[in-house]
């Protein structure tokens, strides 16, 4: 399939509000054939659909978003599988760092709030 044959990310249908999607539904939502999705499961550790009876795959909303991101990296940005995997790892690492930083900022904010309350109490007395 040529890149020009693929719908652009903006042309993909909206993701419905439901908990699980079959591989066929994800294929249509992401513009990727089911065999490609199964291959990507082997290549991208972040992509782990729930498997139920008969080894059927059920993808969750966040996995559909991840597949769209993988598709964008590979087909529009021109990354290799390895390059796309590395980029997703970088993004996850940055998110973890940002989360750790926000915890520290919350602690500082709580400390400042406590100090301000203490000063206000001293002023009122």
Per-residue pLDDT tens digits for 24-41: 999 999 999 999 999 999
With residue 36 as reference, give the H or E element that holds it.
helix 34-43
Which range has the worst mean pLDDT, 3-7, 18-22, 27-31?
3-7
Q: Above 70 in pLDDT, residue 5?
A: no
Rounded to the nearest 10°, the torsion over CA 79, 81, 82, 86 is 70
Mean pLDDT, to the nearest integer, of 7-23?
87
**Confidence at residue 114, expressed as pLDDT on a 0 to 100 scale:** 87
pTM: 0.71
Per-residue pLDDT tens digits for 53-97: 888 999 999 999 999 999 999 999 999 999 999 999 998 888 777
DSSP secondary structure code for residue 114 in this structure: H
What percentage of the chain exceeds 70 in pLDDT?
Answer: 92
Q: Above 70 in pLDDT, residue 9?
A: no
E strand segments, 7-102: 20-22, 50-52, 56-60
Best CA proximity match to 67, nearest among 99, 93, 43, 83: 43
**Confidence at residue 3, expressed as pLDDT on a 0 to 100 scale:** 53
């Amino acid at each position: 399939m040529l890149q020009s044959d693929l719908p652009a990310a903006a042309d993909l249908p909206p993701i419905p509000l439901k908990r699980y999607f079959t591989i066929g539904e994800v294929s249509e939502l992401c513009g990727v054939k089911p065999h490609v999705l199964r291959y990507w499961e082997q290549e991208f550790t972040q992509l782990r659909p729930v498997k139920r009876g008969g080894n059927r795959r059920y993808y969750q909303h966040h996995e559909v978003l991840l597949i769209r991101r993988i598709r964008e990296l590979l087909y529009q940005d021109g990354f290799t599988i390895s390059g796309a995997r590395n980029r997703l790892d970088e993004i996850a690492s940055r998110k973890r760092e940002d989360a750790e930083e926000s915890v520290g900022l919350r602690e500082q904010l709580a400390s400042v709030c406590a100090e301000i309350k203490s000063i206000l109490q001293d002023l009122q007395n």
